[in-house]
Amino acid sequence: LAKTTQPISMDSYEGQEVNITCSHNNIATNDYITWYQQFPSQGPRFIIQGYKTKVTNEVASLFIPADRKSSTLSLPRVSLSDTAVYYCLVGDIQDTNAGKSTFGDGTTLTVKP
Amino acid sequence: ETGVTQSPTHLIKTRGQQVTLRCSSQSGHNTVSWYQQALGQGPQFIFQYYREEENGRGNFPPRFSGLQFPNYSSELNVNALELDDSALYLCASSSRVGVETQYFGPGTRLLVL
């Protein structure tokens, strides 16, 4: 599984856009990039997943450059409730490997009023 | 709410004891993965069960074992508890059809004294 590197922490203010970048230099051809959000004493919650270019859903966007060696999670107009730990995972989603994810230590995002 | 439930929510054991943690997967999901999350760290993969068979294991000793039942619920058993086993234990269910998205339960907080 590809190793990922994320900033340990980030601070932002309400209403700002937040971009969290994850480096994954050893990403393999079959690997997808998945981001999870985790609040204290809760399980991680799926945010978004992508393979290349750009993916957008109702809560976030995921930008993946052509070489796929990094990815950026973009959270538009954050609020205090977005304060959480964000994990970037890179892994093969084919049947024999799905679910065997390696989480790093994540990025602790603190949103201030 | 992900539809994944875990029991108990909290548990206190003493060193050397055995513990069983339970997980009910989301409806329609036939795969369950278990993770251990120490304080301040990301979740670490323990093992995965697919259709009642173990399908991959992380770097955990044999005293960590599991079961998956015909209804796809699952148990995690830990024998000879050690102080370092104190952690949040998470289970995640997923469907093995299509893109991997794991749905995590709220976790069981285990304290070993």
Q: With the CA atoms of A88, A30, B93 and B97 taken in that order, what torsion angle do they form, in degrees rounded to the nearest 10?
A: 140
Of B42, B107, B109, the CB nearest to A105: B42
> Which 3 state secondary structure label does DSSP give A105?
coil
CB atoms B2 and A32 under 8 Å:
no
In whole angstroms, give the CA distance from residue B72 to residue B49.
9
* Structural contact between residues A75 and A12, judged by C-beta atoms closer than 8 angstroms: no
* B43/A44 CB distance under 8 A: yes
Assign residue B63 a region: left if phi > 0, alpha if psi is -120 to 50, beta otherwise? alpha
Q: What DSSP string describes B33-51?
A: EEEEE-TTS--EEEEEEET
- The pLDDT assigned to A96 comes to 56
Q: CB neighbours (10 Å) of residue B53?
A: 8
Minimum-distance CB partner of A49 among B43, B56, B99: B99
Dist. CA B99–CA A53, nearest whole Å: 17
Q: What is the pLDDT of residue B26?
A: 86
Measure B14 CA to nearest chain A CA, in Å.
22
Ranges under pLDDT 70 in chain A: 1-2, 93-100
Beta bridge partner(s), residue B22: B7, B75
pLDDT by residue (tens digit) across A27-56? 888 888 999 999 988 899 999 999 999 999
DSSP calls for A46-76: EEEEESSEEEE-SS-EEEE-TT-SEEEEEES
Higher pLDDT pick, B56 / A113: A113
